[in-house]
Structure 1
Amino acid sequence: MKPLLRNLAEMTAHRDHLRLEVSVLSTLLLQGRDTRVRALEMFTHDGETWLRPRSWSEGGSIVTSEYEALADPAAFALPELPELAKCIASGGKSVGRVEEHGHTLWMPVWLGERAHACLEITQPKAFTRHQRDVIAGVYLVYQNYQSLLDYSERDALTGLLNRKTFDEQFARQPGVESWDARQDPEVPGQWLAVVDIDHFKLVNDRFGHLYGDEVLILVANRLRSLFRSQDRIFRFGGEEFVVLLRSATLAQARMALERLRSTIEAHEFPQIGHITVSIGFAAAQGGAPVEVIGRADQALYFAKEHGRNQVRHYEDLVASASLGQKVAHDEVELF
């Protein structure tokens, strides 16, 4: 029991979702010498739910995937595990399968009404009553702690990631330091966009903050629906949102942001009518998070000052000298 308690203590010491996941798998791995464990990430692609192994046991240790969800060759559609699909559809907590080569137990990890991951445990023999009790206890601790972490990282109004989580998410972007958007615009890279609702103060002043909050919630919903599961969306406060687009070419990033702009413009908001957004974006490389945000902000301000309701790319504006004289001073760019 002591190793289990020690692992539980270590598990709840983490403030990072992936490290927490690795820790809980290590704890479950203690259940038997021949036990195998996996954490399956759930994501949506073309309207269908998919899973992919994000962390798993290998040689007595836990390893994690190097792939983004959509690019993972090990990903598979949820219907390939019909027992799990049925369990998730009914809001269940666990389901098992018995096969010749072993016994498997799946436990969906829920955040609110949505299952975002699943723990999988496989062993040659049937699970004993004691094993099931211990596994269920670890699972509940993990899910409750995941919920607490998620609550601390989310904006209370919109449910999007909040400002304090941005630096950590930015640092997780693969290849940010080595990738350069100027080398080849056709090479997928990382992009940061700042989205600002035009004339939002007038909405609050004319209709009240209750309708203003509803606009923010509906815009957040559009952001969630128009971007991929591998992208990250934040509310920075007020009417400003930030999007980290991962593994996209310049053309793909521009198309995704234009789609957002036109979708917001076409939507009729209750009582308010139509609103617009201005968007500035930049390559997410070549500096600290605050520097990259500063570049995207420059493009956003240009959009605001030149008619609003448009998408502007920082590197394009610099190349055309639209932002004025650029003066280099060590690693700081002044305008």
Structure 2
Amino acid sequence: MDSLLKHMVDMTGHRDHAMLDISVISAVQELAGAAQTRVLNIAIIGERRFLRSRASIGGGSSARVDEADNSQLGEPIEHFPELVRCLDEFGASAESVDDKHCHTMWLPIWFGDKADTVLEIVRPGPFVGEALHMVAGIVGVYRNFHSLLAYSERDSLTGLLNRKTFDDQLARMLQAVNDQKLLLPGQEERRNTGEEEEQWLAVVDVDHFKSVNDRFGHLYGDEVLILIANLLTSSFRSQDRVFRFGGEEFVILLRSTTLANAYRIIERFRTNVAAHLFPQVGTVTVSVGFVSIRAGESPVVSLGHADQALYFAKSNGRNQVCHYDELVAGGQLQAVASNDTAEFF
């Protein structure tokens, strides 16, 4: 009982989804005597569903956040028919046993009639009643606290993170950059060649969105924003953070990647939007400006630079991705400390 209370106190002390995931799998791993416990995200790509690990613990290792690349589809959910049946029937749990008598239990985290998160517990033998009772209590607390966090952090239309959570997330990223300010020998050279992993901020704007509202009405405009939010979620990685700033503006924080990979990820999103057929509206495009987040820079400066790159993209043909530093190096933009035309602050 003391262990159960300790885990519950630990879970309810977090204000971050990643740490909440770490807490729940740590608690379940201990209480269920599990060999492995994972928090799985259900990703919808086209008409298919895939499972992607969000956090995991097992094999004697500590609990960790799994930073999977969304370019990898994940595990097709049809490979787990018991879980499929459970989700289709809005069930509370599903269980399977493999040929080595290893038991796997899935616990969907339901919010109304939707579940995009599943807790997976793998155990070398059957699940016992007392352990299941404690796990059920932990999962209930996790679900309720997850719901409270989501309600306070999410945009009501798109389900993306809202503007209110952006400042905190960017502050954490800036702190991480500042912590790595002292470069090891050779790192500066890699940064100059674009091989250094950095943190990135991208600003997205829907091209000609006012004309969508004017021609088709705000209901179709809202549907375009919802669909673009879905494309943002499926195009970026699980460790990245996507925000709706209001209207047709979105911001993405890309974590720990190279310039080439950041460009590839953002470009993938742009092409996904351009290739998508929006109901009634037809084709829609987006323009994107992005910049690396540097130690010592304020949020205003970082956003201003990304916004300058976005403005350049929109002023020079739209439907393109522009990198601030490349524009400055090419003489197409003048480097300034901040951008007075930015609409974010």
Give the TM-score normalised by structure 1.
Answer: 0.76
CA–CA distance in structure 2, aligned partners of residues 53 and 248 of structure 1: 18
CA–CA distance in structure 2, aligned partners of residues 76 and 173 of structure 1: 33
CA–CA distance in structure 2, aligned partners of residues 255 and 125 of structure 1: 45
The yes-or-no answer on 1:63 pairing with 2:80 is no
Match of 1:153 in 2: 153
* Alpha carbons 1:52, 1:76 under 8 Å: kept: no
* Alpha carbons 1:302, 1:312 under 8 Å: kept: yes
Match of 1:96 in 2: 95
Match of 1:314 in 2: 324
User: Per residue, is there more strand in 1 or in 2?
Assistant: 1
Shift of 1:227: 3.0
Match of 1:38 in 2: 37
The amino acid that maps onto 1:284 is I
CA–CA distance in structure 1, aligned partners of residues 118 and 169 of structure 2: 19
More relative contact order in 1 or in 2 (CA 8 Å, sep 6+)? 2
Inter-CA distance 299–143: structure 2 relative to 1 (3 Å threshold) = same
Match of 2:109 in 1: 109
The amino acid that maps onto 2:93 is S
- Structure 1 vs Structure 2 CA RMSD: 3.9
* Alpha carbons 2:82, 2:96 under 8 Å: kept: yes
More deviation in 76-85 or 150-159? Answer: 76-85
Query: Helix, strand or coil for the counterpart of 1:185?
Result: coil
The amino acid that maps onto 1:293 is L
* Alpha carbons 1:103, 1:127 under 8 Å: kept: no
Match of 1:243 in 2: 252
Shift of 1:312: 1.4
Match of 2:184 in 1: none
Unaligned runs of 5+ in 2: 181-186, 341-345
Shift of 1:189: 4.0
More deviation in 110-119 or 192-201? Answer: 110-119
* Alpha carbons 1:38, 1:56 under 8 Å: kept: yes
* Alpha carbons 2:241, 2:252 under 8 Å: kept: yes
Identity of aligned residues (%): 46
* Alpha carbons 1:264, 1:276 under 8 Å: kept: yes
Pairs aligned (count):
323
Shift of 1:321: 2.4
Unaligned runs of 5+ in 1: none
Match of 1:12 in 2: 12
* Alpha carbons 1:51, 1:78 under 8 Å: kept: no
The amino acid that maps onto 2:64 is S
Match of 1:136 in 2: 136
Give the TM-score normalised by structure 2.
Answer: 0.74
Query: Helix, strand or coil for the counterpart of 2:116?
Result: strand
Inter-CA distance 85–297: structure 2 relative to 1 (3 Å threshold) = same
* Alpha carbons 1:87, 1:95 under 8 Å: kept: yes
Inter-CA distance 146–172: structure 2 relative to 1 (3 Å threshold) = farther
The amino acid that maps onto 2:320 is Q
The amino acid that maps onto 1:149 is L
Deviations 1:115-156 (A, max 9, x none): 33414263767503x332332222222123212322322211
The amino acid that maps onto 2:322 is R
The yes-or-no answer on 1:197 pairing with 2:206 is yes
Query: Helix, strand or coil for the counterpart of 1:236?
Result: strand
